[in-house]
Amino acid sequence: MKNIMLLVMLWAMSTVALNAQEIATWIGGTPGRANDWNTAQNWSPQRVPGELSVVVIKSANNGHNAQPVIANGVEVAAVELYAGAVLTITPNGYLAIDGTDTYSEGLSLFGGYLENKGKVTLSNIDEQFIDLDSFMAYRVEVLEE
């Protein structure tokens, strides 16, 4: 019986670990790729955010002001933009914010600014904080379950 309980506990812990969020903080400034979202050195920790990432973008990063640009398809769990920060999505860019596999506050604008010339989708979001004065969007879709 103890072995069964141990197996159940290990399975439950592994399920939670598989869906654990990670914080990805923009630091930018990599020479030659200062604004490139897909450059691992522009993030702390040094890996490009994935579908379970909560992305944090602030305006001043290590003494420079390189802000991220999304030029292709990206999927994350949530994005937080703080005062003075700008996230740019190019015409070919696509930002999918999806809380299917984890808790998500979607897109939170705390004085930051989203310049969207591409496409943004929000799906399976628990709550979001958007100041519409900070949101310039051409195409935004909120997908419902």
| Other Cβ atoms within 10 Å of 145 Cβ, number | 5
pLDDT at 45: 96
Number of domains composing the chain: 1
Range of 62's domain? 22-143
C-beta separation of 49 from 70 below 8 A: no
The reply to whether 2 falls in a domain is no
The reply to whether 28 falls in a domain is yes
Q: Which residues of 1-18 are buried (b: 16+ CB within 10 A; e: fewer)?
A: eeeeeeeeeeeeeeeeee
10 SS3 class = helix
pLDDT at 103: 83
Q: What does DSSP say about strands 22-26 and 43-44: parallel, antiparallel, or unpaired?
A: antiparallel
Q: What does DSSP say about strands 119-123 and 140-143: parallel, antiparallel, or unpaired?
A: parallel
The reply to whether 9 falls in a domain is no
pLDDT at 136: 52
pTM of the model: 0.78
The reply to whether 54 falls in a domain is yes
**Residue 63 DSSP one-character state:** T
pLDDT at 1: 60
The reply to whether 87 falls in a domain is yes
The reply to whether 75 falls in a domain is yes
The reply to whether 104 falls in a domain is yes
The reply to whether 5 falls in a domain is no
Render each residue's pLDDT in the chain as its tens digit; 145 residues: 655 655 555 555 544 444 678 999 999 999 999 999 999 999 999 999 999 999 999 987 766 789 999 999 999 999 999 999 999 999 999 999 999 888 888 898 888 999 999 999 988 888 765 555 555 554 455 555 4
